Structures are given as C-alpha cells and as structure tokens.
Amino acid sequence: MSTLKTTNLQHASAASPAIVLAADGTATAQLSSVNDGAIAGTRNRIINGGMDVWQRGTSTTATGNTYLADRWQSAILSTGGTISQETSSLPTGSRYAWKYVASASNTVGMQMGQQIEYVNCLDLQNTTVSISFMARSVNTNAASTALTVRTRTIAGVDGACMFGGTNSDTAVTLTTTWTRYTVTRTLPATFGSLSLEFAIGSHVSGDGIMLSQVQLEPGSVATPFERRSFGQELALCQRYYQKSYNIDVAPGALTRIGGNGMVAHATSSYMGFGFVTFQSSMRVNPTVTPYNPDTGLTTNPLRNYSASTNGTMAVANIGVFGFSSNANNLSISTNQSAAYHWTASAEL
C-alpha cells in the first residue's frame, strides 16, 4: 500500500483547499454535502425508525388501518394477525422491533408504512434517496421472505398517500436472520405527499416479518442508521400523537396518574371546565379522545372523584397547543372534582 503525502487538496479553479492536512495526522475539510444530503444530523426522514416509541400500546389484532408503534401505520388486509413490539429477537443496537405474525390465512396481504410530512420531504423531489432497514422473516415460508419495499407519492400536499398513492416497488428476499437491506430510487419530479411502505402478499397462519432501524435519506449511498436520543424521537412523534398517560401506559389503562382535572364553577349552572396544554405543538388541530381513568372507556369518560360516578363531557376549541373541556350538571356539581385522560392525534 502506498501513501500519498501532501499538505493540501485543492481544485485547480478553487481559491482555497478543500482539504487541509495537519502535521498531527488530522485534517480540516470543507464539505458541501455528504451523499448529496445534510452533512450531519437529521439525515433520516423517517420518525421512530428504530421502533423506540410505542405510545398507543405494544400489541394489537386490529384490522384495517391501525397505528401502534408511533408514526407507523399498518393494514392487515384480511382477518387474523397480530402486530406487536418484539423484545427478544432484535438486531444489534435495537431495544425493540416491529413484528407482524398472521394467525390465519390472508389472501390479500399485509402492509405497513409511514407517510412523511411534506415540509420534511419536499426537498427530496426529483432526487435519489436511499432506503435502508433491518429486517427478518419469522419463518422460511416464501410468503414471509418476499418483502416489497414501496414508495408512494401523490400530488396533494399531505394528502391520503399511504397505501393509495402511485407506487414504486422493489422486491427484497428476507431470511430468518436479521439483515440490513438497502434500496435506492429516484423520486418523482414533483409530489405533495410521500410514504415509505413495506408489504407482504398472500400468506398463511404463522407467516410474518420483523422490521427495525428504518431510514430514508437523501443520496445514493445508505449511511449507518441515524440514532437520535429517546427524548428527541419522542418529541418528533408527539407532533403527531400525544396523550395524558405516561409514555409506556397504553390509552384505556386503569390509572389516574396524569389524568387532567375538571372543576365545577361555584355558580347555579353547575358546569365543569378544564383546560389542557399539549407538551408541544401538534401538526394540525388534532382529534381528541377522552378516556375514563377508572373504567378505561371512552363512553362516560369523565370520572367524578367526589361522587364516584361516570359522566359525559365534551371537548372544544381544539388547537395545536391545547383544548378545553366541559361537562354539564349531570356529570359534575359544585365543589366536586373530576378527571379524564385524553389522546390527541394529528396523524397524516
């Protein structure tokens, strides 16, 4: 091996060196880009690509379009299947993985993915992007190993792109060993919505896949998975989903911890009022669902702690920073206190 010994590397037309080599063996470089993207930080446009945040719970058998791991929407396109947080079989460096296992024959397939908010991907129009991810199949059946990596786009800004836009597919063959896969593609010249999706076709009970460390970044070279702190990742997720429960407590759990209070006015109207301020600004005015702390139900979600009764309530004036709530005299009376939990969703 030979060694090139010099002091500077400079383009013939440049006014200064691009790379200055120091005597101590270090160098100073004037980088304009890494792989046509940001030099460092927030290269990954996927939120919760490491499957670290699970505010909605850790397991579901719901069919149709369902969120479980934050920002990841899935669609079990037929009955019979479980989506869950995998905690035992994991790729190196991961705490959790996203897992799907069918519990019945599924002739239509399963798909999951994430739509990227327009403001976070508009610069990717007409560019080459690299999609990289860790994945494995849960068995060796052909249906489990035949994974489709798909990007979808539509013209409308932040429109219904997921599972419905114009698709571009790449087939990947999985094994039962965690492996890193990379797919590169050039995105359309213009789009208003972009989603990254993974899908398997017709399969039988026991088939399934696991995913983690998903990354979509600018450039034709996939770089190592970008690790953000849990607090950073949670904050990114909370732009789309927040709740009053503790982070690891699923909505509907029987707990009073974190519940928002409501007090009654000491007037003849006997009306209760409450106000909630979100932890951070949400994407749009979110849909708010109240839950009863003691029953876990969304029916009669206001728990009157003073009278030990459950009553109705309403949510109004919802904005990106919070909302107000109220209840009538059937739910709360003067000098009584009541509380409820809530979730707020501003998903795409």
Residues of this chain that interact with another protein (CB under 8 A) are 158, 160, 266-270, 283-290, 298-299, 301, 314-319, 326, 328-330, 334-335, 345-348
Residue 201 CA to residue 108 CA, distance in Å, equals: 6
Cβ(260)–Cβ(340) below 8 Å? yes
Which of 69, 72, 137, 81 is CA-nearest to residue 105?
81
Pick 209 or 318: Cβ nearer another protein: 318
CB 30 within 8 A of CB 19: yes
Burial degree of 201 (CB within 10 A; 0-12, 13-18, 19+):
middle
The CB-of-179 to another protein minimum distance in angstroms stands at: 34
Of 100 and 191, the one with the shorter C-beta distance to another protein is: 191
* Residue closer to another protein (CB basis): 160 or 257: 160
Residue 309 forms beta bridges with which residues?
304
Give the number of other Cβ atoms within 10 Å of residue 29's Cβ. 11
**What is the C-alpha separation between 301 and 314, in angstroms, rounded?**
9
Cα separation, 101 vs 264, in Å, equals 48
At closest approach, how far in Å is the CB of 153 from another protein? 17
Using DSSP bridges, classify how beta strands 193-200 and 309-311 pair: parallel, antiparallel or unpaired: unpaired
Q: How far is the CB of 81 from another protein (least distance, A)?
A: 21
Distance of closest approach, residue 147 Cβ to another protein, in angstroms: 27
| Cβ nearer to another protein, comparing 111 with 137 | 111
Query: What's the min distance (Å) between Cβ of 332 and another protein?
Result: 11
In whole angstroms, how close is the CB of 319 to another protein at the nearest point? 8
- What SS3 class is residue 274? strand
Instruction: Compare residues 33 and 299 and give the one whose CB is closer to another protein.
Output: 299
Minimum distance between the CB of residue 244 and another protein, rounded to whole angstroms?
14
User: Are the beta carbons of 91 and 73 closer than 8 angstroms?
Assistant: no
What count of other Cβ atoms lies within 10 Å of the Cβ of residue 279? 14
Nearer to another protein, 93 or 319 (CB): 319
